[in-house]
């Protein structure tokens, strides 16, 4: 049965037909005249056309010279995973094995015939699938753009709060930036993924965000804190976690913010977590945070020197700090001290 295509609206989809018999190509062009169709008789040329042009669907003969259709698909799948491919066979017994069809992600095959009814239905079905995939991609792209804008907005808002904390006290200016840089040095040594490095950096930048909720009289006090005042200071990890809990994009960094004052021996706060129960990134930030606190000038003391801080970190392995992470940071301090100095000079 032939379709009457004279009054049909031209389809926006592009089809490439590949068959080493020019007669088959000519017939397909007649039956698919309402589509934008390109006919190719050389398999190698077809691969290049797909590489350099956009097509929505491919009709591909299986038995061809100089190589068969499955080899064409194998090459195409190296650079195009999305092209919808219908394989044409002279006889069902000549079709490739089912496992080959699955492996190469061939969406279907059809026996050649003088009648194109089945092929036309498969093409229509295939293009509907392509349309759905394109729609999903568009929606995902729009959601991604929206999420990126939302994330940027939240990050900017929290950044304002972070800077507000540091502006209050000249002695903590640049603290979170340095902590983030030290944490990233550790992360690099631990071969963390790009995604994990991003989480670690943001978590370190915002680790003290909860200090926005600590009274200035306590936060800026230049003498020893009373027990009550120290208890108030110890609330800042929980306050910070609460602030960030209002935005789901911060879910991954909340454990860092909440638990960067836990101790490996379980004597820290707020959760008194111990060992590997402490979130991994929080254990990294704990060392970076302590190191910066020791090597920064305070109103009540000068910055401590490297040798002293190295000895302190070494002596606190297994009690305050995760021993493995502590060893990684000590190695950085011993072999790449120039990187530490660059960070300190930068912020």
CA–CA separation, 347 vs 177, rounded Å?
A: 7
Strands in 57-61's sheet, in edge-to-edge order, are 36-40, 14-18, 57-61, 84-89, 108-111
Task: At 271, give phi and psi (nearest 5°).
Answer: -100, -5
CA–CA separation, 218 vs 229, rounded Å?
A: 6
211 among known catalytic residues: yes
Indicate the helix (H) or strand (E) that contains 125.
helix 117-168
Contacts of 21-30 with CB under 8 Å at 24 or more apart are 21/61, 24/61, 24/88, 24/112, 27/116, 28/59, 28/116
**Count of helix runs (H) and strand runs (E) in the chain:** 15, 5
> Which entry of 29, 78, 211, 346 is annotated as an active-site residue?
211
**Cβ count near 106 (within 10 Å):** 22
Which residues are part of the catalytic machinery?
A: 211
């Amino acid at each position: 049965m032939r379709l009457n295509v004279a009054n049909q609206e031209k389809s926006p989809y592009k089809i490439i037909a590949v068959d080493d018999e020019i007669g088959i190509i000519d017939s397909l062009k007649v039956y698919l005249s309402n589509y934008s169709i390109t006919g190719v008789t050389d398999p190698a040329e077809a691969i290049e056309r797909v590489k350099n042009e956009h097509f929505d669907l491919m009709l591909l003969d299986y038995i061809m010279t100089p190589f068969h259709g499955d080899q064409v698909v194998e090459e195409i799948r190296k650079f195009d995973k999305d092209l919808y491919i219908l394989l044409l066979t002279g006889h069902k017994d000549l079709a490739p094995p089912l496992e080959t069809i699955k492996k190469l992600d061939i969406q279907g095959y059809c026996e050649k015939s003088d009648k194109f009814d089945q092929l036309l239905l498969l093409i229509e079905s295939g293009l509907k699938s392509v349309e759905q995939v394109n729609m999903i991609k568009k929606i995902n792209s729009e959601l991604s753009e929206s999420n990126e804008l939302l994330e940027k907005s939240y990050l900017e808002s929290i950044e304002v709060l972070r800077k507000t904390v540091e502006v209050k006290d000249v002695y903590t200016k640049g603290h979170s930036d340095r902590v983030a840089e030290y944490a990233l040095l550790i992360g690099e040594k631990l071969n963390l993924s790009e995604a994990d490095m991003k989480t670690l950096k943001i978590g370190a930048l915002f680790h003290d965000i909860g200090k926005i909720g600590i009274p200035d009289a306590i936060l800026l006090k230049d003498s020893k804190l009373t027990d009550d005042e120290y208890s108030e200071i110890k609330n800042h990890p929980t306050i910070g976690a609460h602030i960030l809990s209002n935005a789901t994009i911060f879910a991954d960094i909340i454990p860092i913010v909440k638990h960067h004052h836990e101790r490996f021996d379980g004597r820290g706060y707020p959760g008194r977590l111990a060992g590997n129960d402490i979130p991994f990134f929080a254990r990294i930030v704990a060392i970076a945070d302590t190191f910066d606190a020791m090597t920064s000038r305070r109103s009540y003391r000068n910055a401590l020197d490297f040798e002293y801080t190295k000895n302190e970190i070494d002596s606190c392995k297994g009690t305050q700090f995760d021993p493995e992470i502590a060893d990684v940071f000590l190695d950085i301090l011993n072999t790449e001290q120039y990187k530490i100095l660059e960070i300190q000079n930068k912020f």
